[in-house]
């Protein structure tokens, strides 16, 4: 991650990694057997749990990197590679059938809060921000909050957005988000390489 990263660019990166548009079919499938009147309560609860998990890893996950004695340049390169792989998946793969069978019970924590909201990619990204510039923890936490709020708004209205945009529209928007994330990931990788060789 570039040292020039701002609140808004951090918010955008976290929003893209959470990938709310890609999670719409995921949420709709998980809530298929639940009464529609309960959807708002369940989604709100899962969003809060997911936010809590991300915030904990953001604030305390950097100690894992300190323990492993990982350098900032390595973090930048690793973060760029991870985000690049995520962006490629967003661009080239369609929505996967995450549930082989319908859930008969109300989802709790898994699979909506974890891994839909707080998945490996979003957790790793949150940790990378903090590990590289821990002194900017207020900015990173604010960026996480803004990205989470935007993603939450989309997921709360998942049914309406799915009906409005259709499967094709959702795929097109997710691919666009993937393209943006590709550019960001390549820049992160370049920054990490520059730091490694003191360019």
Q: Which residues of the chain have pLDDT under 50?
A: 1-3, 95-102
Which pLDDT does position 100 carry in this prediction?
42
- pTM over 0.75? The answer is yes
Q: How far is CA 79 from the centre of its chain?
A: 13
103: its two tokens = 């859930």
pLDDT score, position 119: 84
Would you state the pLDDT for residue 101? 46
SS3 (DSSP) at 108: strand
Give the pLDDT of residue 4: 64
Query: Can you read off the two tokens belonging to residue 18?
Result: 């959470």
HEC profile of 101-161: CCCCCCCECECHHHHHHCCHHHHHHHHHHHHHCHHHHHHHHHHHHHHHHHHHHHHHCHHHH
Q: Under the phi-then-psi rule, with left for phi > 0, alpha for psi from -120 to 50, and beta for the rest, what region is 166?
A: left
Residue 169 in tokens? 């529209």
């Amino acid at each position: 991650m570039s040292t020039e990263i701002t609140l808004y660019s951090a918010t955008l990166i976290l929003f893209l990694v959470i990938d709310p548009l890609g999670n719409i079919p995921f949420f709709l499938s998980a809530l298929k057997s639940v009464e529609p009147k309960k959807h708002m309560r369940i989604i709100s609860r899962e969003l809060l749990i997911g936010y809590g998990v991300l915030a904990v890893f953001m604030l305390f996950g950097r100690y894992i990197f300190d323990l492993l004695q990982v350098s900032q340049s390595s973090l930048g390169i690793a973060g760029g590679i991870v985000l690049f792989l995520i962006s490629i998946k967003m661009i080239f793969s369609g929505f996967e059938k995450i549930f082989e069978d319908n859930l008969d019970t109300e989802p709790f924590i898994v699979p909506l809060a974890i891994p839909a909201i707080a998945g490996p990619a979003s957790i790793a990204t949150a940790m990378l921000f903090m590990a590289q510039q821990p002194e900017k923890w207020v900015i990173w936490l604010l960026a996480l909050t803004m990205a989470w709020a935007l993603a939450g708004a989309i997921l709360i209205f998942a049914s309406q957005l799915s009906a409005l945009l259709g499967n094709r529209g959702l795929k097109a928007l997710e691919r666009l988000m993937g393209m943006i994330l590709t550019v960001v990931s390549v820049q992160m990788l370049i920054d990490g390489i520059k730091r490694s060789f003191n360019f």
